[in-house]
Amino acid sequence: MEENKNIKRTDVNELGEFGLIDHLTKNFKNKNLSTVKSIGDDAAVIENGNLMTVVSTDMLVEGIHFDMMYSPLKHLGYKAVVVNLSDIYAMNAYPKQITVSLALSNRYSVEALEEIYAGIEQACKFYKVDLIGGDTTSSPKGLIISVTAIGQQERNKIVYRDGAKLGDLLCVTGNLGAAYLGLQLLEREKQIYLANPGVKPDLGDQGYLVGRQLKPEARHDMIEAFAKAELIPTAMIDVSDGLASEVFHLCKQSGLGALVEESGVPIHPDAEVQAIDFGMDPITCALSGGEDYELLFTINPKDLEKVKYLPDIYIMGEMVEKSEGIKLHTKGGNIHEIKAQGWKHF
Ligand code: ADP
Ligand code: MG
């Protein structure tokens, strides 16, 4: 298509991911009462009889989200499902169905696609979800996998990003930064291989970090633990873009600030060692890395007793007045502003 020279051309990078979504969707008004939550959370919420239906979709693009040089196809299929289920769990809901859409170039054989589907099947089995449809089309280059996940939960148990209250405790599951370091290791080995194809990749004993990158899991166990403990977080989001970005979303939508204790941010010992080895600060990897697929959530302090005894949950901060901003209290006793690192993929 020929571009009209008189029409203003704005680069999408000028808006960034969230600016772009806002810009494109700001004029859409919901017409249906059954649309309980639309754009702006980990998943949309639709009223459906007694239960709410929760829907989320994510796309993985070759060369952007994965690299065929180091992504085993089976893991790729598994990960494509898991990253979507994570958004359903982030609503405190249970995923039940998925659809899978593929755009593929002729570089992909039936055998390669079978591998991807073996991973999808494994994820469906483990997370007890049904594959109910999708779409398959060709693409001039590379592979695109788009997964939509559908889940359910009772109306009053769904947790949004905007429900945090002043004084709520900020908690996170698992540990942060490992998937990012796994990616750095894979990238390093790729560069070495490209420079010298005779050299075998040496990932040493960094299986944990590489595994976190290539085959992440979604925290279904946490949603089950919350239900058992009769705990409903006040706000929740999954950590896909890095802690800084997710804290920023919770704060922005809840109209609050946050104070995060560096000493409270869980970092796996392997991640700590690898970060230092790469000359990086481990906390920076946790704040800006991403792809951890852990859950970041807030609780009313009166629910502290319920959380205290749940395994793998770390209380790392507190929700404060918006005017106080989003700050990190470092181990050294300094206070730093946390900047949400805008994403730039384009
Ligand atoms: P997440 O990181 O949890 O997957 P995203 O950052 O992808 O969430 O999306 C943020 C919100 O914007 C979600 O509600 C999502 O459904 C919506 N969204 C993203 N892209 C588009 C689009 N192209 N059109 C409409 N809504 C979109
Ligand atoms: Mg999300």
pLDDT in tens, 239-276: 999 999 999 999 999 999 999 999 999 999 999 999 99
- Band of the pLDDT at 342, cuts 50, 70, 90? very low
| pLDDT, the chain, mean | 93
pLDDT score of 201: 72
Question: Are 240 and 309 within one domain?
Answer: yes
pLDDT of residue 1: 54
Q: Which of 132, 157, 182 is the last residue of a domain?
A: 157
Is any atom of ligand 1 closer than 6 Å to the C-beta of 318? Answer: no
Q: Which atom of ligand 1 is nearest to the CA of 58?
A: 4
Q: Which of 39, 160, 247 for mutating ligand 1's site (highest number of atoms within 8 Å of CB)?
A: 39
Adjacent-strand bridge partners of 54 = 45, 151
pLDDT tens-digit readout, 96-110: 999 999 999 999 999
Q: Ligand 1 pocket, 132 CB below 6 A? A: no
Predicted TM-score of the model (pTM): 0.94
Domain boundary among 111, 126, 157: 157
Q: Which residues of 223-247 are buried (b: 16+ CB within 10 A; e: fewer)?
A: bebbeeeebbbbbbbbbbbbbbbbb
Question: What would the pLDDT profile of 216-228 be if each residue is shown by its tens digit?
Answer: 999 999 999 999 9
Which structural domain, as residue segments, surrounds residue 61?
A: 12-157
In terms of Cα–Cα distance, which of 320, 177, 196, 311 is closest to 261?
Answer: 320
CATH number, domain with residue 100? 3.30.1330.10
pLDDT tens digit sequence for 297-308 = 999 999 999 998
- Assess whether 173 and 241 both reside in one domain: yes
Bigger pLDDT: 7 vs 292: 292
Given 97, 126, 157, which residue is the final one in a domain?
157
Is the domain of 141 the same as that of 262? no
Residue 343 placed within a domain: no
Q: Per the domain annotation, does 6 fall within a domain?
A: no
Residue 206 in domain: yes
**Does the residue 52 lie in any domain?**
yes
d(CA 113, ligand 1 centre) in Å: 27
Q: Are 95 and 177 found together in one domain?
A: no
Tell whether 180 and 324 lie within a shared domain: yes
Q: Are 113 and 234 within one domain?
A: no
Task: Quote the ligand 2 centre to 90 CA distance (angstroms).
Answer: 7
Q: What is the CATH number of the domain that holds 249?
A: 3.90.650.10
Angle at 149 between CA 147 and CA 150, to 5 degrees: 150
Q: State residue 197's pLDDT score.
A: 83
Mean pLDDT, residues 13-30 taken together:
91
Domain count, the chain: 2
Confirm whether 5 is domain-assigned: no
What is the atom index within ligand 1 of the atom nearest the CA of 39?
Answer: 14
What average pLDDT score do residues 86-94 get?
98
Q: Using only C-alpha atoms, what is the Rg of the chain?
A: 21
51 shares its domain with 108: yes
- The reply to whether 297 and 234 lie within a common domain is yes
Confidence check: pLDDT of 346 > 50 = no
> Residue 295: which pLDDT band, with cuts at 50, 70 and 90?
very high
Interval between CA 327 and ligand 2 midpoint (Å)? 22
